[in-house]
C-alpha cells in the first residue's frame, strides 16, 4: 500500500557507520539519566566495564532521523572536585577513551575492550535541583567537548511553580539546553536532534574561568600544567589540568609526582603560596567559588511563580498515558478500545453486511462449470467485503485517529520496553492489537510504522495472532466442548507462541535494531478530512493486492471440488491429518479450504463429518488438537497477499512454512499430553 511520505532534512553527510558519533550520558544520580537511555535504547544493549573496573556502562545504537549515534550511559558522578570512587574512571573515559596517554600506561587496570572517547557530552540536569547540577556543568565545560544539556523533570518544576529561562541558561553556559520529562518521553526527540546537530557542528563551550581573585593565585599552577612535557604526557585540556592540580591530591597530582618530581615540588610550593594569600585553603576556595558562580547563574535564570502552566486536562492526560506506572492503565484502555472495535463494532458491521451477503448467496449452488466459476468469483468478492467493511475501514480509521491525536505515540512509548523482548519497538503495539480483529489491516498498519528488519519480524509475528474469525471458532467449539478453562488455555497459547517465535526470529535476523526515539507530539484533534484522507491512503490499494488472490484461490478450490479431487486431497493430507494430528482423514479438505476464510473451514468440517455435534465423532483430545492447529495454521489467502506485497515472495513463502510448522508443533504439544492424561 502507498505510505505517507517522510522527509528528513540533510544538513551534511549522514552520521552513520564509521561517522557515527559517540554520545556520553553523564550526570548525577536520580536526575533521570538512565531513563533517557532506556527510552532511546535499542533491542540489544552492550554492557562493559570501564578499564575492567567499577560499575558497568551500557551502550547501544540509536537512530535519529537518518543519522545514528552510539549512546553510552556512564556511571553517575557528582563532581570532579575529588577524584575518588568511580569518578577517575569516568573522567579517563571522557578524556581519552581507550587511548590512554603516557602517564596512565603503567596502571594495573588498562582498557580491556575498545571504547572510543565520546564526541558529545549529554549532561542530564534536574530542573528541581538546578543549582547543584550547574556546578558539574561548569566542570564539564573544561573538558573541551561539545555539550548538550537535558533539563529534566520540567513537569515537577512546573508543579512547584518554578520557571527556568531555558534560552538564558543556554546562552550563559554556551551549550544548547533542551527541556525534557524523561519518564514520559517528552522532549527526547528534540534532545537527540540537538545532539546530532552538536556532533555535526563540533562546537565546544568556552570553559568559564574562576573568579579573578582565585585566577591570580592559580597562575603558577597554570604555568606548570602548560609546560610542553607535562601537556604531552597528560593530554588534558590546560584549564582542567590546572584546576585538578590545584584542587586535590588525587590522580593527576599523584601522576605528576611520579613522572615529574621537580614540577610536583613547584606545584606544592604554588599551593602553599595560594593558601597564604587566600582567606581559605586553595582547594576549599575553588570549591566555594564554583558553588557561588553556580548559585549566581541559578538566580539569573530562575524565577519562582512564573512561566506558563500546563492545562489541567493535558497534565491529566499525560499522567494517564505517560506515567511510568499509570501509563499502563492508559495503554490498557486503548487496547480495550481496539478489542471493543474488534469484537463489538466490527462484529456488528459484519452481521449487517457480509453475513447477509453470505445468506443471500447461499441458495446459488451451481453444478455446471460456468456457474461454479461465477460462484467462486462471487465468493472472492464477498471475502474482500468481509475484510474491508467490518475490519479494514473501522480499524484503520481508529489507528489514524490515535496517531493524529498523539495518543498512539504515548502508548508506543509506554510499551516500548516490553516489545524489546521480541526485538521490536513499541510502535507496533496497535498493529498487533489490530491483528486480533484481522491480520490484513494489521499488516497494513505495520507497513506505516516500521521498516527493514522490524517490518519483517513484526509482519511474521502478526500472523500468529488469533484474528476474530479464528477467535470465533475457538469460542464456539472450545466453549461448547472444552469449557471455559480449555478456551482460556488455547488463547494463552498465542502469547507463548509469539514470544517463542520472536526469539527464533532474532536468530534468523540477528542484526541489532538501533534504538528509536519515540516522539511525543502535542495533543491534537484530527479533522474529519485528514482522517478520511489518511484512511483512504492506507486502504485504497487493498483491492489490487488482495482481491486477485482471493478470486484465484476461490476458483482453484472450487475446481478441485467440482472435478472430485476431494478424495485425493484427503489422501494426500493423511500424513498430517491422521498420522500427526490424530484426526479423521476427511478433515483434509476443510483444513485446506480454510485458507480462504476460517469460518468456511468450520462449515466444511460439519459437512465432512456429517454432523454439527462433534462430540459424537471426535473426542476431547481431537477437538483440542484441531482448534490448536487451526489457531496457528496458515492465515487466510488475503493475509498471504498482504505479506507478498510487504515482504516479497521469499519472506511470504517463509511465513507460510513458519505458520504450518508452528501449527504442527503446537498441535502435537497439545495432543500428546492430552492422550496421556485422558
Sorted by where each starts, the structural domains of the chain and their CATH numbers stand as 18-209+311-316 (3.40.50.300), 212-304 (1.10.287), 319-677 (no CATH)
CB of 24 closer than 8 Å to CB of 93: yes
Q: 26 φ, ψ to 5°? A: -140, 150
Q: CA torsion sign, 459 to 460 to 461 to 466?
A: positive
Which own/partner contact pairs does 305-311 have at CB distance under 8 Å and 24+ positions apart? 305/161, 305/163, 306/161, 306/163, 307/158, 307/161, 307/162, 307/163, 307/164, 309/158, 309/161, 310/155, 310/158
Averaged pLDDT, 153-167: 87
Confidence of residue 635 (pLDDT cuts 50, 70, 90): low
Cell of residue 578, nine digits? 491422521
Q: Give residue 636's pLDDT.
A: 75
How far is the C-alpha of 553 from the C-alpha of 381, rounded, in Å? 12
How far is the C-alpha of 188 from the C-alpha of 47, rounded, in Å? 23
CB of 85 closer than 8 Å to CB of 37: no
* Percentage of the residues of the chain whose pLDDT score is greater than 90: 17
Q: Give residue 5's pLDDT.
A: 43
pLDDT digits (tens, 9 = 90+) for 384-437: 777 677 766 777 787 788 878 888 777 777 776 666 666 666 667 767 777 776
pLDDT digits (tens, 9 = 90+) for 27-44: 998 898 988 888 887 666
* Residue 310 pLDDT > 80: no
Averaged pLDDT, 637-663: 85
pLDDT digits (tens, 9 = 90+) for 258-308: 999 999 899 999 999 988 888 888 888 888 888 888 888 988 898 876 555
How far is the C-alpha of 215 from the C-alpha of 213, rounded, in Å? 6
Helix (H) or strand (E) holding 56: strand 56-64
Strand pairing of 46-49 and 56-64?
antiparallel
Q: CA torsion sign, 89 to 90 to 95 to 100?
A: positive
User: How many C-beta atoms surround the C-beta of residue 168 within 10 A?
Assistant: 14
Residues in the chain: 678
* Residue 562 pLDDT > 70: yes
> Which residue would you say has higher pLDDT here, 346 or 142?
142
* Residue 4 pLDDT > 60: no
Averaged pLDDT, 156-162: 83
Which own/partner contact pairs does 247-251 have at CB distance under 8 Å and 24+ positions apart? 247/81, 247/282, 247/283, 247/286, 247/287, 248/81, 248/82, 248/83, 248/283, 250/82, 250/83, 250/84, 250/88, 251/83, 251/88, 251/91
Distances (CA, A) of 309 to 70, 154, 161, 165, 239: 35, 11, 8, 14, 41
Q: Report which listed range, 9-18, 389-398, 487-496, 637-646, is most confident.
A: 487-496
Averaged pLDDT, 609-621: 80
DSSP 107: -
3-class DSSP state for residue 83? coil
Confidence of residue 550 (pLDDT cuts 50, 70, 90): low
Place of cell 524523561: 182
Confidence of residue 338 (pLDDT cuts 50, 70, 90): confident
Q: Give residue 3's pLDDT.
A: 39
Task: Give the number of C-alpha atoms closer than 13 A to the C-alpha of residue 338, restricted to the C-beta side.
Answer: 28
* Residue 63 pLDDT > 80: yes
Averaged pLDDT, 153-159: 85
Confidence of residue 119 (pLDDT cuts 50, 70, 90): very high
Q: Give the residue among 248, 276, 122 at the shortest CA–CA distance from 193.
A: 122
* Residue 9 pLDDT > 70: no
Q: Give residue 462's pLDDT.
A: 86
- Exposed e or buried b per residue across 538-572, where buried means at least 16 C-beta atoms within 10 angstroms of its C-beta: bbeebeebbbebbbebbbebbebbbeeebeebbee
* Percentage of the residues of the chain whose pLDDT score is greater than 70: 84
How far is the C-alpha of 424 from the C-alpha of 450, rounded, in Å? 9
**Going by C-beta distance under 8 Å and a sequence separation of 6 or more, which residues neighbour residue 58?**
37, 41, 45, 46, 47, 72, 73
Averaged pLDDT, 3-8: 44
pLDDT digits (tens, 9 = 90+) for 184-209: 888 888 999 999 999 999 888 888 88
Widest CA span in the chain: 114
Distance of CA 489 to the CA centre of its chain: 29
Q: Give residue 6's pLDDT.
A: 45
Q: Give residue 2's pLDDT.
A: 39
Confidence of residue 470 (pLDDT cuts 50, 70, 90): confident
How far is the C-alpha of 676 from the C-alpha of 678, rounded, in Å? 6
Q: Give residue 592's pLDDT.
A: 76
Average pLDDT of the residues of the chain:
81
Averaged pLDDT, 358-362: 82
Amino acid at each position: 500500500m502507498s505510505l505517507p511520505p517522510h522527509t528528513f532534512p540533510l544538513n551534511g553527510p549522514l552520521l552513520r557507520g564509521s561517522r557515527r558519533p559517540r554520545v556520553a550520558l553523564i550526570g548525577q544520580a536520580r536526575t533521570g539519566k538512565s531513563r533517557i537511555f532506556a527510552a532511546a535504547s535499542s533491542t540489544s544493549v552492550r554492557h562493559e566495564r570501564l578499564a575492567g573496573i567499577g560499575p558497568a556502562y551500557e551502550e547501544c545504537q540509536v537512530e535519529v532521523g537518518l543519522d545514528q549515534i552510539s549512546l553510552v550511559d556512564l556511571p553517575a558522578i557528582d563532581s570532579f572536585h575529588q577524584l575518588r570512587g568511580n569518578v577517575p574512571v569516568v573522567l579517563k573515559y571522557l578524556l581519552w577513551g581507550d587511548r590512554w596517554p603516557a602517564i596512565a600506561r603503567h596502571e594495573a587496570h588498562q582498557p580491556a575492550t575498545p571504547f572510543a572517547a565520546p564526541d558529545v557530552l549529554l549532561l542530564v540536569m534536574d530542573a528541581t535541583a538546578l543549582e547543584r547540577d550547574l556546578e558539574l556543568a561548569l566542570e564539564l565545560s573544561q573538558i573541551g567537548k561539545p555539550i548538550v544539556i537535558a533539563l529534566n523533570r520540567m513537569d515537577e518544576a512546573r508543579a512547584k511553580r518554578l520557571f527556568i529561562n531555558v534560552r538564558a541558561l543556554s546562552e550563559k553556559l554556551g551549550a544548547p539546553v533542551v527541556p525534557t520529562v524523561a519518564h514520559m518521553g517528552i522532549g527526547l526527540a528534540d534532545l537527540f536532534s540537538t545532539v546530532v546537530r552538536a556532533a555535526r557542528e563540533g562546537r565546544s563551550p568556552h570553559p568559564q574561568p574562576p573568579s579573578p581573585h582565585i585566577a591570580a593565585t592559580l597562575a603558577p599552577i597554570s604555568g606548570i600544567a602548560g609546560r610542553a612535557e607535562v601537556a604531552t604526557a597528560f593530554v588534558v585540556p590546560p584549564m582542567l589540568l590546572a584546576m585538578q592540580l590545584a584542587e586535590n591530591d588525587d590522580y593527576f597530582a599523584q601522576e605528576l609526582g611520579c613522572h615529574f618530581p621537580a614540577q610536583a615540588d613547584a606545584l606544592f610550593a604554588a599551593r602553599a603560596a595560594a593558601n597564604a594569600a587566600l582567606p581559605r585553603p586553595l582547594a576549599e576556595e575553588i570549591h566555594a567559588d564554583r558553588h557561588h558562580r553556580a548559585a549566581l547563574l541559578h538566580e539569573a535564570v530562575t524565577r519562582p511563580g512564573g512561566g506558563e502552566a500546563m492545562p489541567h486536562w493535558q497534565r491529566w492526560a499525560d499522567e494517564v498515558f505517560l506515567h511510568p506506572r499509570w501509563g499502563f492503565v492508559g495503554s490498557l484502555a486503548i487496547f480495550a478500545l481496539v478489542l471493543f472495535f474488534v469484537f463489538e463494532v466490527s462484529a456488528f458491521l459484519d452481521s449487517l453486511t457480509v453475513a447477509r451477503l453470505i445468506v443471500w448467496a447461499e441458495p446459488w449452488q451451481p453444478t455446471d462449470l460456468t456457474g461454479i466459476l461465477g460462484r467462486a468469483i462471487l465468493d472472492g468478492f464477498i471475502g474482500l467485503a468481509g475484510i474491508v467493511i467490518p475490519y479494514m475501514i473501522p480499524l484503520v480509521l481508529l489507528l489514524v485517529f490515535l496517531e493524529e491525536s498523539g495518543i498512539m505515540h504515548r502508548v508506543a512509548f509506554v510499551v516500548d520496553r516490553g516489545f524489546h523482548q521480541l526485538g521490536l519497538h513499541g510502535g507496533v503495539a496497535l498493529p498487533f492489537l489490530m491483528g486480533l480483529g484481522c491480520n490484513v489491516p494489521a499488516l497494513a498498519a505495520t507497513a506505516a510504522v516500521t521498516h527493514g528488519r522490524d517490518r519483517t519480524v513484526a509482519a511474521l509475528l502478526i500472523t500468529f495472532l488469533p484474528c476474530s474469525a479464528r477467535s470465533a471458532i475457538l469460542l464456539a467449539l472450545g466453549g461448547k466442548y472444552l469449557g471455559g478453562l480449555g478456551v482460556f488455555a488455547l488463547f494463552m497459547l498465542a502469547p507463548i507462541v509469539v514470544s517463542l517465535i520472536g526469539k527464533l526470529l532474532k536468530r534468523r535476523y540477528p542484526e541489532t535494531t538501533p534504538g528509536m526515539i519515540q516522539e511525543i507530539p502535542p495533543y491534537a484533534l484530527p479533522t474529519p478530512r485528514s482522517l478520511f484522507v489518511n484512511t483512504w491512503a492506507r486502504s485504497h490499494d487493498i483491492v489490487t493486492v488482495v482481491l486477485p488472490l482471493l478470486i484465484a484461490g476461490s476458483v482453484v478450490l472450487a475446481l478441485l471440488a467440482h472435478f472430485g479431487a476431494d478424495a485425493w486431497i484427503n489422501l494426500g493430507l493423511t500424513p498430517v491429518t491422521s498420522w500427526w494430528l490424530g484426526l479423521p482423514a476427511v478433515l483434509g479438505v476443510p483444513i485446506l479450504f480454510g485458507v480462504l476464510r476460517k469460518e468456511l473451514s468450520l462449515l466444511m468440517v460439519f459437512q465432512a463429518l456429517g454432523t454439527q455435534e462433534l462430540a459424537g465423532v471426535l473426542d476431547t483430545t481431537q477437538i483440542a488438537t484441531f482448534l490448536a492447529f487451526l489457531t496457528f495454521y496458515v492465515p487466510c489467502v488475503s493475509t498471504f497477499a498482504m505479506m507478498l506485497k510487504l515482504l516479497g515472495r521469499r519472506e511470504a513463502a517463509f511465513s507460510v512454512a513458519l505458520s504450518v510448522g508452528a501449527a504442527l508443533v503446537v498441535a502435537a504439544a497439545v495432543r500428546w499430553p492430552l492422550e496421556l492424561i485422558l
